[in-house]
Amino acid sequence: MSDRRPSEDEPVVITDKRKIDRQSDRKDAVPAEPAVSAGAHEAAPAVEPDQAPMVEAALLDERTADLQRLQADYTNYRRRSERERQAAGEQAIGRVLADFLPVLDDIDRARQHGDLTGGLKAIADRLDAIFGKLGLVAFGEVGDPFDPTIHEAVLHDESADVTEPTCTTVMRPGYKHNDRLLRAAMVGVSDPAVPPPAATTEEPTDDE
């Protein structure tokens, strides 16, 4: 053995080779619990074997109802789209016909003056057939009851020959396209004549 003693300046080192269980030394240590998923406590209700056909039938009815609602929605959408398409087409045709009304006025004036003959008459008849096929209808005749919704009155007079406001002159015909007003008819209107009040004679009194 060496008689060498540690000097006062050298540090003293203590070595302990025993294993220390740090977890067991903690008095307040709580054993960790296994993680539980959020839906673990909400277990699905068990289905009895004899109830399985009823559950399947209920699910089938629910899916069938969903399909029926979907089919009804699609049918309504298709019908609405068809109506909107037809309405848009009729509006487009109406705008084109409205642009042709001055041409029809010229043809009517030529017909009234007897100038619509030969090839011009054939063209006018062809146009009338095409416009009639597209739903264009002319209106406004002498003797028609006056209707402010389709008639534009530019002249007014009184006549004892009528019992209600009546179109007695037609300056320009009106036109409709499939019951849609394109232009009001320009007319002169005669109102029933109001008879003058009857003259009354005063009877003499006894004082006179």
Query: Which residue, 96, 129, 157, sits at the end of a domain?
Result: 96
Residue scoring higher pLDDT (160 or 30): 160
Domain of residue 87, residue span? 52-96
Among 18-27, 149-158, 165-174, which is the least confidently predicted range? 18-27
* Count of domains forming the chain: 2
Please report whether residue 31 resides in a domain.
no
pLDDT in tens, 51-95: 777 878 888 888 999 899 999 999 999 999 999 998 898 899 999
Query: Which residue, 79, 96, 113, sits at the end of a domain?
Result: 96
| pTM exceeds 0.85 for this model | no
Please report whether residue 173 resides in a domain.
yes
Please report whether residue 206 resides in a domain.
no
pLDDT given for residue 48 in this prediction: 63
Which residues, other chains included, contact 128 with Cβ-Cβ below 8 Å and sequence gap of 6+?
none
Please report whether residue 148 resides in a domain.
yes
Please report whether residue 105 resides in a domain.
no
Residue 136 has pLDDT above 80, yes or no: yes
pLDDT in tens, 194-206: 766 665 555 556 5
Question: How many other CB atoms sit within 10 Å of the CB of residue 181?
Answer: 14
DSSP 8-state symbol, 145: B
Instruction: Report the C-alpha gap between 204 and 139 in whole angstroms.
Output: 59
Please report whether residue 58 resides in a domain.
yes
Among 42-51, 123-132, 166-175, which is the least confidently predicted range? 42-51
Please report whether residue 174 resides in a domain.
yes
What CATH number corresponds to the domain at position 145?
Answer: 2.30.22.10
